[in-house]
Amino acid sequence: MASAIIAGLIDGGHKPTTINVSDPSVEQLTRLQQQFGVLTSTDNLQAVADADVVVLAVKPQVLAQVATDLAAALQPEALVISIAAGIDCRSLSAWLGQGTAIVRCMPNTPALVNLGASGLYANPQTTAAQKVQAEAILAAVGIVVWLTDEDQLHAVTAVSGSGPAYFFLFMEAMIEVGVAQGLAPDLARSLTLQTALGASTLASNSEEGPDVLRQRVTSPNGTTEQAILSFERDDTRAVVKRAMAACAQRSVTLSEELGAK
Ligand SMILES: NC(=O)C1=CN([C@@H]2O[C@H](COP(=O)(O)OP(=O)(O)OC[C@H]3O[C@@H](n4cnc5c(N)ncnc54)[C@H](OP(=O)(O)O)[C@@H]3O)[C@@H](O)[C@H]2O)C=CC1
Ligand SMILES: O=C(O)[C@@H]1CCC=N1
């Protein structure tokens, strides 16, 4: 995720030498340095020392340690943006310092192709100018929505944070079945991916909702009708509801398991 955000910032005209990337892996840093021309360090404290914005893009499992270590090195006026799933502002403040301006963000991997979708929530310590900064960083890789209730980030995770994986699963299944029905694998793949891109683009460009667009594909007594009836008989909406509930619930329990006690 961090690579995607760095790429978006640099594509958007951000000067590479104003970005300092820290990671334990020298190989990873060398790759980022060669690809983007950013400054690099294996020392998190050194990387944040002069930073006005710090993006925390580590796994939730290491966030407590990383954030606690950073506290002493942060500039008092720095904005901290965390993209970690689940971990709330209460925990981040406990680790970073109570006065820290924090924006929590839930991005997604289509940020890699500038088609990301991010939900953002700012704690009360965040100034209007810092909110503009946070929005500009995430807007470099896709659309941004602001949330007024931090708990909504669980739902954003279930919709867009994890959402790409649901569509990939659907694509995998369609490709497999296309092949089973007699198509060459490369044909099944390109037809599936173009259909996903076409459906998404059509829905994005249309004033009509997905329900109306679906009905347009579904000719009475035609082929689609049989597929949709089969999906409804299998209660696909309930399947989606259970999956997204499990996802949002995991976001809640990540916070309980890994948050500040
Ligand atoms: N993947 C996704 O679709 C999304 C992920 N997120 C969130 O983004 C965060 C990162 O996820 P993702 O990008 O997938 O994970 P990655 O494992 O790809 O990236 C995490 C990076 O953090 C580095 N790292 C590990 N320990 C430290 C440390 N102590 N100090 C500095 N860097 C460290 C890792 O290095 P190394 O590999 O060498 O250990 C790795 O490069 C997570 O919190 C996740 O919840 C949010 C939205 C979507
Ligand atoms: O699976 C995860 O925990 C992360 C957060 C959202 C997408 N990937």
Q: What is the number of helices (H) and of strands (E) in the chain?
A: 12, 7
Average pLDDT of the residues in 122-133: 98
Q: What is the CATH number of domain 2-148?
A: 3.40.50.720
**In this predicted model, what pLDDT tens digit does every residue of 150-191 receive, in sequence order?**
999 999 999 999 999 999 999 999 999 999 999 999 999 999
Q: What's the 153 CA to ligand 1 centre distance in angstroms?
A: 18
Residue 32: Cβ within 10 Å count:
22
In angstroms, the CA 208 to CA 211 distance is: 8
Q: Give me the sign of the Cα torsion angle 79, 63, 248, 144.
A: positive
Q: What's the 187 CA to ligand 1 centre distance in angstroms?
A: 34
Distance from the Cα of residue 237 to its chain's centroid: 23
Average pLDDT of the residues in 123-129: 98
Q: What percent of the chain has pLDDT over 90?
A: 98
| pLDDT higher than 90, residue 194 | yes
Q: What's the 252 CA to ligand 2 centre distance in angstroms?
A: 13
Mutate to test the pocket of ligand 1, among 6, 22, 23 (most ligand atoms within 8 A of CB): 23
pLDDT of residue 136: 95
* Domain ranges (residues) in the chain: 2-148, 163-252
> From the alpha carbon of 254, which atom of ligand 2 is closest?
3
Q: What percent of the chain has pLDDT over 70?
A: 100
**In this predicted model, what pLDDT tens digit does every residue of 204-254 receive, in sequence order?**
999 999 999 999 999 999 999 999 999 999 999 999 999 999 999 999 999
What burial class does residue 214 get, using C-beta atoms within 10 Å of its C-beta: 0-12 exposed, 13-18 middle, 19+ buried? middle
**In this predicted model, what pLDDT tens digit does every residue of 12-27 receive, in sequence order?**
899 999 999 999 999 9
**In this predicted model, what pLDDT tens digit does every residue of 67-119 receive, in sequence order?**
999 999 999 999 999 999 999 999 999 999 999 999 999 999 999 999 999 99
Ligand lying nearest the CA atom of residue 158: 2
**In this predicted model, what pLDDT tens digit does every residue of 220-233 receive, in sequence order?**
999 999 999 999 99
Q: What's the 29 CA to ligand 1 centre distance in angstroms?
A: 13
pLDDT of residue 12: 87
Binding residues for NADP(+): 57-60
In angstroms, the CA 135 to CA 204 distance is: 22
Record the tokens describing residue 168, joined without a space: 């990939």
As for ligand 2, residues whose beta carbon falls within 6 Å of it are: 85, 157, 161-162
Mutate to test the pocket of ligand 2, among 83, 162, 249 (most ligand atoms within 8 A of CB): 162
| 9: amino acid identity, one letter | L
Ligand 1 atom 12, closest CA = 1
Record the tokens describing residue 182, joined without a space: 């007699």
| pLDDT higher than 90, residue 258 | yes
- ipTM strictly over 0.95? yes
CA distance readout (Å), 53 to 3, 50, 78, 107, 216 = 16, 9, 6, 17, 47
163-252 CATH pick, 1.10.3730.10, 2.60.40.1120, 3.40.50.970, 2.40.10.10: 1.10.3730.10
In angstroms, the CA 120 to CA 144 distance is: 7
